[in-house]
A and B are shown apart, each in its own frame.
Chain A
Amino acid sequence: MSDELRDDDPLRRMTEALHAPVAVRPGLMARSRARARTAQRRRVGVSLAGAAALAVVLVWRTPRGDGLEAVTFALRAPPSTPITLVGDFNDWQTGGVPMHRTADGGAAATVRLRPGRYRFAYVTAGGEWIPDERAAPVTDDFGRPTSVVTVVAP
C-alpha cells in the first residue's frame, strides 16, 4: 500500500493549506508591536496614578479637553468642625471651598485645576490651619502650616 495521498484526498488538501504562505497586510507586525507598547504604557500609567492617589492628596482624572484636571484633596482624620480648602487656586479665600464628609469619616473637596504647582491648606471653622498629612510641606512666610501640590497633565 502506497503512502502517497491522492490529489483529492482531504488530508492532503488540509496539509497543503497549512503549508501555504499566508498573506500578511503591510505593517501588521509594526501595528501589533505598537499596540503592545500602548497597552504596556497604559499599565504603567495606571500603576503610577494608583500610587499617586494612595500617597499624595490628589486623585486626578477626567480631563475634558479644557486643560483642567479634577483634583481631590482629602483629609483622613479631620476635626469635627466644618473645614474649608484654601489655596492659590481660590485666592486663599477661607470660605471658598467647603469640604464634604466622606463615608470613611474623612473630608474631601474636588477642584478643577490646570497643571501647575499650588500652595494650599485646610482651615477649620475655629480658624485652625491644618496642613495635608500626605502632601509635601513648604516654607511658610506667615507662620501657618502650608502644603503644596503639583498637578501634571495625565
Chain B
Amino acid sequence: MRLRWALCALLFPAVLAAQDARLVARLPKATATRVGLLVDSARAEGLPTEPLILRALEGASKGAPEARIVLALDGLRDALRGARGVLGVETTAEDLAIAASALQAGVPRERVAELRQWRNGRSLTAPLGAYLDLVARGVPAERAWSQVSTLAQRRAPDRDYVGLGETRPRTPEEE
C-alpha cells in the first residue's frame, strides 16, 4: 500500500508535466489529469489531440462539470477513430476532425468515403463543412448532399462551397 502511494506521488507530477499546459492552466487539477490521460490515449492511437484539447477548453470556458467534459471528449475520440477507419491512417488531422464532426452529425461513413474519392487528396473541410451547415439550417440531408456532391464531382474549388451554406431551405410551396 505504501509502495502504491509512493509511486503515485512520484508519477503524478510527471503526468502533469506531460499534459498540455493549457489544460493544466484552465481545468481543475483532477479534471486536467483525467482529460490528460484521455488525450494521451488518443495520441498513443495516432489520433489528433488538438480537437480534444480544444473541446476540453471549450467545456472549461462554459463552466461544464468534469463528467460532461469527459463524456464529450469520449464521444469526440470515438468519432475521430471512426473517421480514421473511413479515411485511413494517412489522413491529415484537419480531415479527421471534419470527418469526425460529420460522423457525429449522422453523416453515413459511405458518404465521407465517397467524398474523399471525389476530392482526390484535397481537404474535406469545405465540402463537409458546407454540408453540415446546410443541414443545420434545415435543408433536407438528401438535397444538401446532392448540392455538395455535384460540386465535388465537378472538382469545384473550395470557394464554390461557401455560398451553399447560405442556401435558404425551400418552403413547401416551392417544392
Binds A, one of B10-18, B50-58, B109-117, B146-154: B50-58
Check A51–B166 contact: CB distance below 8 A. yes
Which parts of A137-154 form the interface with B (CB within 8 Å)?
137-144, 146, 148, 150, 152-154
Interface string of B54-95 (1 = CB under 8 A from A): 110111111110001101100100000000000000000010
Does B48 touch A at the CB level, under 8 Å? Answer: no
Complex: chain A residue closest to B158, CB-CB:
A152
Residues of chain A with a CB closer than 8 A to B165's CB: 56, 136, 150
Query: Which residues on the A side are within 8 Å of B129 (C-beta)?
Result: 117, 148, 150
Residues of A within 8 A of B19 (CB): none
Q: Do B126 and A152 touch (CB < 8 A)? A: yes
Interface size class of B (residues with CB under 8 A): 35 or more
Q: Complex formed: what's the CA distance from A154 to B158 in Å? A: 8
The reply to whether B159 and A117 contact each other, CB–CB distance below 8 Å, is no
Shortest Cβ distance from A55 into chain B, in angstroms?
4
Shortest Cβ distance from B56 into A: residue: A92
Report whether A52 and B137 are in contact in the complex, using a CB–CB cutoff of 8 Å: no
Residues of B within 8 A of A154 (CB): 159
Residues of B1-39 at the interface with A, using a CB-CB cut-off of 8 Å, are: 22, 26
Residues of A contacting B94 with CB < 8 Å?
Answer: 116
Structural contact, B162 and A139, CB atoms closer than 8 A: no
User: Quick check: B166 and A92 within 8 Å, CB to CB?
Assistant: no
| Choice from B61, B132, B158 contacting A153 with Cβ under 8 Å | B158
Q: How far is the CB of A154 from chain B (nearest CB, A)?
A: 6
Contact A152-B159, Cβ < 8 Å, known A92-B54, A116-B94, A117-B101: yes
Residue ID in chain A nearest B71 by CB atoms: A141
Q: How many residues of A contact B (CB 8 A)?
A: 33
**A118's closest neighbor in chain B, by CB?**
B54
> Measured between alpha carbons, how far is A139 from B103 in the docked complex, in Å?
13
In the bound complex, do residue B72 and residue A91 qualify as a contact, i.e. CB atoms below 8 Å apart?
A: no
Q: B161 contacts A152, CB within 8 Å? A: yes
Let me know if B98 is at the binding interface, CB within 8 A. Answer: yes
Tell me whether B75 and A141 are in contact (CB under 8 A). yes
| Interface residue? A94 (CB, 8 A) | yes
Give residues 89-135 of B contacting A (CB, 8 Å): 94, 97-98, 101, 104-105, 123, 125-126, 129-130, 132-133
- Whole-angstrom distance from the CB of B8 to the nearest CB of chain A? 30
B61 touches A137 (CB 8 A): no
Told that A141-B71, A150-B130, A152-B161 touch, could you supply 16 new A-B pairs with CB distance under 8 A? A51-B166, A88-B58, A91-B22, A91-B57, A92-B57, A115-B123, A117-B129, A136-B165, A138-B136, A140-B62, A142-B58, A142-B62, A142-B63, A148-B132, A152-B126, A153-B158
* 8 A-B residue pairings within 8 Å (CB atoms): A52-B162, A56-B162, A56-B166, A117-B98, A139-B105, A141-B72, A142-B64, A142-B68
